[in-house]
Chain A
Amino acid sequence: MSRYFIDRASRYVVFIFGVLALLILAAIAIFILKDSLPAFREIGISDIIFGTKWYPSHGAFGILTMLAGSVLVTLLALLMAVPLALGCAIFLAEVAPPRIRQLTRPAVELLVGIPSVVYGLVGMIVLCPLIANLSGTGSGSSVLVAAIVLAIMILPTVTSISEDSMRAIPNQYREGALALGATRWQTIHHVILPAARNGIMASIVLGTGRAIGETMAVIMVIGNSPIFPTNIFAPARTLTGNIAVEIMSATGIHQSALFATGVVLFILIMLINSLALIAYRKKT
């Protein structure tokens, strides 16, 4: 076997793997679309997307409340996670002495490795009763607990990617700023953060994707009520939760409507990613 042959062969193998990834994505999209068609045809696209009542056994298949639930929970989680994660990233990249960084970074990354059902369990056993005591009524299953759990879950994603993008900034930037008499904070605020902007945006988008797609931890703490949440102490239902809670016992048009929920989720995530891509291109 000549080296030339191996080189050629490996090129094709890698090419096939690349195409395979695309094919899998296409297959998933087609499968979800195909199974959702009966629902879209029989119920109607607008009745599904803009309908506010979900009661499958009585023929109501509106998912607007869950769209609102997903968006609200994700925004709230970002609101909590992003400042914390950015602060953590700045500390790790710019401030922390090497020894502390060696301890802190693996600890943050370890958070990724914890299964989401464990986050859900902690939320259910610890946070829910706490929130129930604070708000005085209910079981504590709420948008707030879901957002807190999600915030902790996306913290490591946002932190480590932001940190990496700050570390990638050449040292001349820092030296230049410091040589001009800027303080450390001025350097971070006016030089490092703007230069790392793309990476930070990317980390936030990835965090958003994880938050909106997370299922198990959320259904354990949000109560899964298909209603518009009136405040953060109220229960709600997310798009992913709708699918997970009911798919096992759904048949017929009900099942198809759950696949339609999946289609809406799919489009929502594609929209977020394209927005990020556009924002990313503009800045560079």
Chain B
Amino acid sequence: MQDAFRNKWPLLLLTGFILIALTSACGPASTCITAGGSTTVQPLAEKWAEKFEAKSTDVDVIVQGGGSSAAVKGVAQGIFDIGTASRELKSSETSQWPDLVTYHVALDAIAIVVHPSNTTANLSLKELRDIFATGSNATWTVLNREEGSGTRDNFEEKVMGNTEVSLNSEFLPAAGAIKQKVANTTSAISYISLGYVDASVKALTIDGTACTKDNCRNGSYPISRYLNFITKGEPGGLVKTFIDFCLSSEGQKLVEEEGYISVK
């Protein structure tokens, strides 16, 4: 029996290290913050985390994706210190978990994007609603986010109203996937956060108003929303320090750098 283990001690050692690494990743010493939720907020939260970690020693901010609804549930159940949501809390959520606190950490616009070669430059809100209510046809290939996505919730609220989006459209579970598909499909139309827009897609003007930061700040662009941090109760300690950092002028400068709109 002894012989059998003699050659395996490096393996045992490795297993031990992995176990230690796993348990100490976010220990009770609380030098670590877990944040998770919206894929829209994720790139921004990662930037904040990076800068925050660089400023102080021994602090870890772990940022995960998963969607806005998962963020609310996760923070309520104590899985996340901070839930990142690209929408406001729903009434069903505030009644189920009354002690959730919302912080507006950035403003974001939802851009309506098409393939760069598309000659359409402007749509009215009504035309947009009709396209999404009709679904894919010879003219348009309609791409939607999945049910539960914060971007989808905002789009439905601000554009669709009580009209349903057509199920005869494609459904993809992440903003990156939507952008990739729009960039590769000449007839595609979809909606993504302004922060994700780059030269691979073309953002349309809505009722003649371009999707720009200024138009969102002055409220003339119709499809914008706050990006939120959600905590369970008033946060203290490190979590509060982190949120304060995000809301500071330095933190809000990162918001602008990432293509979102500062709230201060």
Which A residues lie at the B interface, using CB under 8 A?
1, 53-58, 124-125, 128-129, 132, 137-141, 219-220, 223-227, 235, 237, 244-246, 248-252, 254
Contact status of A223 and B170, CB under 8 A, knowing A138-B185, A249-B149: yes
**B 47-73 binary contact with A (CB < 8 Å = 1; else 0):** 000000000000000000111111011
- What is the number of residues of chain B that contact chain A, defined by CB distance less than 8 Å? 34
CB distance from A137 to the nearest CB of B (A): 6
Tell yes or no: B181 within 8 A of A by CB: yes
Q: Is the CB of A138 within 8 A of B148?
A: no
Specify which chain B residues have a CB less than 8 angstroms from the CB of A227 in the assembled complex: 167-168
CB distance from A22 to the nearest CB of B (A): 27
* B149-184 CB contacts (< 8 Å) to partner A: 149, 156, 164, 167-173, 177, 180-181, 184
Q: Is the CB of B164 within 8 A of A58?
A: yes
Q: Is the CB of B147 within 8 A of A57?
A: yes
Considering the chains assembled together, what is the distance between the CA atoms of A261 and B257 in angstroms? 42
Inter-chain pairs besides A129-B184, A139-B141, 5 sampled, C-beta below 8 Å:
A124-B180, A219-B173, A245-B146, A245-B173, A249-B149
Considering the chains assembled together, what is the distance between the CA atoms of A114 and B143 in angstroms? 29
Find B173's partner among A137, A139, A223, A246 (CB 8 Å cutoff): A246
Q: Is the CB of A138 within 8 A of B167?
A: no
Which B residues lie at the A interface, using CB under 8 A?
1, 65-70, 72-73, 92, 136, 138, 141, 143, 146-149, 156, 164, 167-173, 177, 180-181, 184-185, 187-188
Specify which chain B residues have a CB less than 8 angstroms from the CB of A57 in the assembled complex: 147, 156
Considering the chains assembled together, what is the distance between the CA atoms of A127 and B172 in angstroms? 18
Residue of A nearest to B136 (CB): A138
Considering the chains assembled together, what is the distance between the CA atoms of A1 and B36 in angstroms? 53
Residue of B nearest to A141 (CB): B170
Q: Is the CB of B70 within 8 A of A248?
A: yes
Residue of B nearest to A138 (CB): B141
Specify which chain A residues have a CB less than 8 angstroms from the CB of B171 in the assembled complex: 223-226, 237, 245
Q: Is the CB of A139 within 8 A of B167?
A: no
Specify which chain B residues have a CB less than 8 angstroms from the CB of A235 in the assembled complex: 136, 170
Specify which chain B residues have a CB less than 8 angstroms from the CB of A55 in the assembled complex: 147, 164, 167
Q: Is the CB of A246 within 8 A of B136?
A: no
Residue of B nearest to A129 (CB): B184
Residue of B nearest to A55 (CB): B164
Specify which chain A residues have a CB less than 8 angstroms from the CB of B143 in the assembled complex: 139
Specify which chain A residues have a CB less than 8 angstroms from the CB of B70 in the assembled complex: 248-249, 251
Q: Is the CB of B66 within 8 A of A249?
A: yes
Considering the chains assembled together, what is the distance between the CA atoms of A276 and B163 in angstroms? 46
Find B147's partner among A124, A137, A141, A250 (CB 8 Å cutoff): A250
